[in-house]
Amino acid sequence: MQKLVILGGSGIGMIAASIANDLGCYQVLGFMNDYYEPGYLIGKYKKYPVLGGTELLAGFLEDDEVMVFIAYVGLQREKETFEKVESLNIPRDRLATLIHPTAIIPTGMCSIGCGVLMAPLSQLSPDTTIHDNCILLPNSFVGHDSTLERFAHIATNSVVGANVTVGRAVHIGSNATIREKVIIGDYSLVGAGAVVLNNVAKNCVVVGNPANILSQR
């Protein structure tokens, strides 16, 4: 059984811990978090300790049995956070991929990177490409020939159409729909329930049906 350290906090972090428990092949050691003191307990019912800040991660990685899951979603200061994660220099083969047994993946027809989370009942179509560190929450769907770049996050009940490119660190909110052949630029955020019919530039927040730019960051 491998050991698992989760970067982040409650919410996505606890979803990752629950899937790791369901898979039965990980011992969750706890969380690395830059805001809580070591020993702080994360979780309402099953609790896991904060092991320390991310500056201690290199020490944990000296143990060859330790894997890492990065549980950052809906990033704040997306580019800054992305660059911070890159600076941690986590070896790709130490990123834990957590795919719930009920996730639907066409056998041999998709490419899934390292450090990916697929929650219960998330679904891929054939010829999809999911890059490292992407997160697909329950009942999310990615259409055929679509690509999620690194750290793209698809929230609950969202639908990504066919031939769509979702840029790095993009967050697509719950119940959003992305029309086929659309490009979502890096670090953008699609609001909950939005219906995206046209390309979205980098660093934009789009909301509504049809989606319009609320702000550029």
Place of tokens 């999911």: 130
- The predicted-structure confidence for 116-150, as pLDDT tens digits, reads as follows 999 999 999 999 999 999 999 999 999 999 999 99
Quick one: CATH architecture of 97-217?
A: 3 Solenoid (2.160)
Q: pTM, whole model, 2 decimals?
A: 0.93
- Where in the sequence of the chain do the CATH 3.40.50.20 domains occur? 2-71
What residue ranges of the chain have pLDDT lower than 70? Answer: 73-78
Closest by Cα among 132, 107, 109, 135 to 122: 135
Domain 2-71 adopts which CATH fold?
Rossmann fold (3.40.50)
120: CB partners within 8 A, 6+ apart: 100, 102, 103, 138
- The predicted-structure confidence for 84-97, as pLDDT tens digits, reads as follows 788 888 999 999 99
Q: Are strands 48-52 and 41-42 parallel, antiparallel or unpaired?
A: antiparallel
* Paired tokens of 119: 């929650």
Q: What is the pLDDT of residue 89?
A: 86
* Paired tokens of 181: 């052949």
Rounded CA gap, 173 and 189, in Å?
A: 8
DSSP class of 200: B
Cα within 13 Å of Cα(120), Cβ side: 6
Secondary structure of residue 60 in the 3-state scheme: helix
Q: Which amino acid is at 192?
A: A
- Where in the sequence of the chain do the CATH 2.160.10.10 domains occur? 97-217
